[in-house]
Amino acid sequence: MSSLDDAHARPDGAPDAAVVAAGDMSEALEVVERARGHLYAFHQLIGEADLKLDDVLHGLEDLGRDDLAAPLRDELLGRNVIPGRWTFQVVEEFDDGYWSVFRAHERALREALTDGRRHVHEAEMKERRRTHGAPGHDATP
């Protein structure tokens, strides 16, 4: 007898291949989510570096080294990371494009294959691997 909650139970009649396909698609989305996190980290790190240039410029100005400060000010400070774009624009385009489309397809596939239920494959794996009745191996909270 299964102890899966309704949110994670296999829908009646859903074949193994459907559960695996939905699980694989969700796993692919999880990889995209990780990539998105790295993109946001890139966005924040580039912003931090750009702001740190202010300290460099102040230091060069204090040294009277405008010969070194001017190229940084003119060529690097506030520079686009790719043609016409700062990182916030890259993030927005990624979110509005690839990420949103990927999420919509993942959701549609789950709706079609597992009645929209998430992590059915993982829930079934948990049920198979847990030791029934053992502390820390409860089916649900």
How many independent structural domains does the chain possess?
A: 1
The CB density around residue 63, as the number of other CB atoms within 10 Å, is: 10
pLDDT of 4 above 80 = no
Assigned domain for 136 exists: no
Assigned domain for 78 exists: yes
What is the structure's pLDDT at 1?
A: 43
Assigned domain for 138 exists: no
Assigned domain for 71 exists: yes
pLDDT of 91 above 70 = yes
> What value does the mean pLDDT take over residues 78-93?
97
Non-local CB neighbours of 14 within 8 Å, separated by 6+ positions: 113, 114, 115, 120
pLDDT mean across residues, the chain = 95
What is the structure's pLDDT at 25?
A: 97
Q: Which of 89, 57, 95 has its CA nearest to residue 76?
A: 57
The HSE-up count of residue 118 (CA atoms within 13 Å, CB side) is 7
pTM: 0.85
Assigned domain for 8 exists: no
Tokens standing for 80? 């686009």
> Which pLDDT band, with edges at 50, 70 and 90, does 40 fall under?
very high
Assigned domain for 123 exists: yes
d(C-alpha 76, C-alpha 59), whole Å? 16
Assigned domain for 113 exists: yes
